[in-house]
Amino acid sequence: MATEYHNLSSYDPTKVPNGSDMRIGIVVSEWNEEITNALLKGAFQTLTKNGVVPENILVDYVPGSFELTFGAKHMAENKNIDAVIILGCVVRGGTPHFDYVCSGVTQGITHLNTIYDIPFIFGLLTTDDMQQAIDRAGGIHGNKGDECAITAIKMIDFYRRNLEE
């Protein structure tokens, strides 16, 4: 696993642009709420730590992870934001449901990245069990929400720099 070699909360602050002029949406799945709330807390704290004004962080919720794509699309269309972070958690069970949800969200977020001029940041935990999710939502492997926040800031900066050229 990649997180065995890199903590999700580790980043070099000297390589993170200032986010003070950025407006970021976060769509959070209510399913596995203990995990997704921890991801949201990590993302929110990391965004503000890196200059994003709390009033410029728009948070909304959808019932489950499959609905993250729809929520992200509508947030992008209606909230005048620079990026959308999606946060969810799917834990493998005894049916193929896990595969369908993970595949659908992955393809959906990838598609949104190709049709909009803002980045959509993939923050869907896809774990074999709840302990792996806990470990990635502020546990021993850090917080995927932190990683998503840094990715959003860096991708907004990337987009803006490439507009200037």
Q: What is the pTM of this model?
A: 0.94
pLDDT, one tens digit per residue, over 118-159 is 999 999 999 999 999 999 999 999 999 999 999 999 999 999
Please give the domain boundaries of the chain with CATH numbers for all domains: 22-164 (3.40.50.960)
Annotation marks residue 6 as catalytic: no
Q: Write down the pLDDT at residue 143.
A: 96
Alpha helices in the chain (DSSP H): 33-49, 68-78, 97-115, 130-135, 144-164
8 confidence band (pLDDT: 50, 70, 90): confident
Rounded to an integer, the average pLDDT of 112-118 is 97
Nearest to 89 by CA among 158, 147, 136, 25: 136
* Catalytic position from the list 6, 74, 97, 141: 97
Residue whose structure tokens are 């909009």:
116
165 confidence band (pLDDT: 50, 70, 90): low
- Asked if residue 64 has pLDDT above 90, the reply is yes
Q: Write down the pLDDT at residue 94.
A: 81
The DSSP secondary structure of 52-65, one letter per residue, reads --GGGEEEEEESSG
Q: Write down the pLDDT at residue 164.
A: 64
Compute the distance between CA of residue 26 and CA of residue 44 in angstroms, rounded to an integer. Answer: 9
Compute the distance between CA of residue 87 and CA of residue 26 in angstroms, rounded to an integer. Answer: 7
pLDDT, one tens digit per residue, over 16-63 is 999 999 999 999 999 999 999 999 999 999 999 999 999 999 999 999
